[in-house]
Amino acid sequence: MLRLFLLQLLLLACFSPSFVHSMESSASKCSNISIPYPFGIPGKSPSLSKGFEITCNPSGTGPVLPIGNSVFGILDISLLDGFVSILASANSQQCKGNHSVNLEGTIFTFSDTRNKFTAVGCNVVAMLLNGSSGYSGGCASFCSTKDNIINGSCSGVACCQAPVPKGLKKLELVFSIISNKDNSTPSCGEAFIVEQNSYMFSSLDLSNTNNTNPQYRPVVLEWSIDGGSCEEAKRSSYACRENTYCYNSSNGIGYRCNCSNGFEGNPYLQGPDGCQDIDECSNRNPCTHKCVNTEGSFYCMCPAGMRGDGLKGGTGCNGVGTLQIAIVAGFALLVLLLVLGFWTHWLVKKRKLAKIRQRYFMQNGGLLLKQQVFSRRAPLHIFTSSELDKATNYFSDNNIVGRGGFGTVYKGILSNQMVVAIKKAQRVDRSQMEQFINELVILSQVNHKNVVQLLGCCLETEVPLLVYEFITNGTLFHHLHNTSAPMSWENRLRIAVETASSLAYLHLATKIPIIHRDVKSSNILLDESFVAKVSDFGASRPMPYNQTHVTTLVQGTLGYMDPEYFRTSQLTEKSDVYSFGVVLSELLTRKKPIFDGTMEEVRSLALHFSMLFHQNQLLKIVDPEVAEEAGMRHVETVAKLALRCLRLKGEERPRMIEVAIELEALRRLMKQHLIKKSQPLLQESRCHEEMSIDVASSMRPDDDGIAEDESI
């Protein structure tokens, strides 16, 4: 109880105003060496923390710095540069042991700018260790005979030097003897850290490598305030006071403070001992006439009728004569001519830019697009290039949100504060401009809640710019493969249903069927509610109703591409079904479509998934969280559907509408399973029949041939 009472009294005393003021006192001295705050001598001057305490012995060795179980004499403390110069034996001997300084757990590190790592010995390699990460530096010294040794030279003959690694706290060495053919040269080596330019090599030092007594040499330590970077320290215990600035320590550990420009003093103290304004006027009077001191600076005043900077080393103060007036008038005229010239140049450049934009607009089918938008009443807005330049900060790299094989996507904010995604497409083939415009109009009329909406385009640039609604929550690929947070199977199954519904809509319910051609998890975006949105129609192709396939150049993504399409170049709606089968496998397994493996292993997810299923080893690849949440009967049913989509022959695959119906039925069964786990999975056929009626009604097109936004 008495100890607790005394502790309370001590805390009250520490937080009293008088004690706080005494904490921030001026620097004390020990043997004519200044000990500035944050350093301090217990009982004489306070310190910022225990790591800054210094012991003073004025009648003996003077100030010493305790580190661990050792103490080191202090030669100098630099508040401005953050250095402490000590006298230490920071060395390690190959034959006789280690006398190095261990700075681990302290606020100090060996300075990499003011020290040198030095090794003395013949045919010796001294390598610095950096914990478990290997070597961090070192050097080698050679000598065949003593005649080759030159006093004062440390360039590799009997003595070598190397930079000290940044942030070094402990001298851990590995010595290696290269050879020792000449027994007249000592076989032992010594390595140490010493202040640069303070050590002069002597051949006598070779004899000291066998000496057990430590050699004391000046060593420079860097110190910093513990507490993270400046930004981190400002949120907790910030040591910098008024009129100061903070800078991170160069060794990457902690931070230090300094007085702002125009101030001097101790940046760690408040009041008169802290950073105070430098009165430049009274100290050195830099002005030719009147000097006016300001907080952190000054300025000079010239007498009436005189002009100039008023500085002694500058132009001073001079009278304004006829010549000066003429010069000023000529300068004003020159400025006026420059302004007129700039304005004229700006007008010419603006007209030239307008002509270029008009030319691009015509080349990119602008007139045809206007006609199509007017005749079909398509909800497609035609943006100007100026609007999109402002929206994307002139297409700054900071606004890039994605790159793909068909263009770069930028985030933009329109003048009405609407956030959009702007895709800079690849160069359009001028010979297929009419087809490109038709596809734009068709995509603008796609109206489904699970398809990213095309809002408009800009044709005033060399390559067309497409403007889509902005989806905020990233891609399905990112949430499956690049985050540690698991996604529930209920959410994954819903995303699969929404994706299949949107693809079935594109295949059946639009005026002209659209084949996406690049279905993959990175082209399925998720909004803030994790609702799926199919995106990136850069590779999509419309297909007339009277055709079964379109022959094209093969495009797509490895791992998702339909092997039949890859082999024949004949694109059908079943190509999207295959790609969706890969996505469904991803949802089940959380495996990438192409994964790393040895040469003997199967690297294709589709092949690996199919092989394990037919070997009755599905649990080896299915995500354990999915198996636990849904049950293996449900997982096997979904896996069978995925494998039907992945059949090599397109004619054997189900249509996208059939896939959507089966997935919705499975989703309903899954909901019932989660509510009442004992309910069997045998009602699947009944749900299929109900879903067929629902989907048939939702897929009826409206009067214009474009389906309403109804979920499949």
Cβ atoms of 165 and 136 within 8 Å: the answer is yes
- d(CA 506, CA 706) in angstroms, rounded, equals 10
Question: With b meaning 16 or more CB within 10 Å and e meaning fewer, what string describes 74-97?
Answer: bbebebeebbbbbebbbbbbbeee
Pairwise CA distance, residues 271 & 652, whole Å: 86
Phi, psi of 302 (to 5 degrees): -95, 150
Joined together, the tokens standing for residue 120 give 């003395």
Question: How far is residue 7 from each of residues 1, 2, 12, 19, 47, measured CA to CA in Å?
Answer: 10, 9, 9, 16, 19
Residue 262 β-bridge partners: none
Q: At residue 542, what is the residue type? A: P
Task: Confirm if 125 and 138 have CB atoms less than 8 A apart.
Answer: yes
Q: What is the largest CA-CA distance in the chain?
A: 107
User: If you search the block for the tokens 């005649």, which residue do you land on?
Assistant: 147
Residue 81 bears catalytic tag = no
Q: How many CB atoms sit inside 10 A of residue 278's CB?
A: 19
Catalogue the long-range contacts made by 95-99 (C-beta closer than 8 Å, 24 or more residues apart).
95/187, 95/188, 95/189, 95/209, 95/210, 96/188, 96/210, 96/211, 96/212, 97/212, 98/171, 98/173, 99/214
H helix count then E strand count, the chain:
17, 35
The conformational region for residue 409 under phi > 0 = left, psi -120 to 50 = alpha, else beta, is beta
Q: What is the distance between the alpha carbons of residues 509 and 374, in angstroms, rounded to a whole number?
A: 23
Contact of 11 with 19, CB cutoff 8 Å? no
Q: Which residues contact 423 (CB under 8 A, 6 or more apart)?
A: 407, 408, 409, 410, 465, 466, 467, 468, 538
Q: 269: closest CA among 616, 37, 63, 9?
A: 37
Q: Which of 112, 205, 518, 576 is catalytic?
A: 518
- Return the DSSP state at 471: P
Other Cβ atoms closer than 10 A to 52? 19
Instruction: Determine the residue type at 219.
Output: V
- What residue type is assigned to position 697 of the chain? S
595 contacts 662 by C-beta, under 8 angstroms: no
Catalytic (active-site) positions: 518
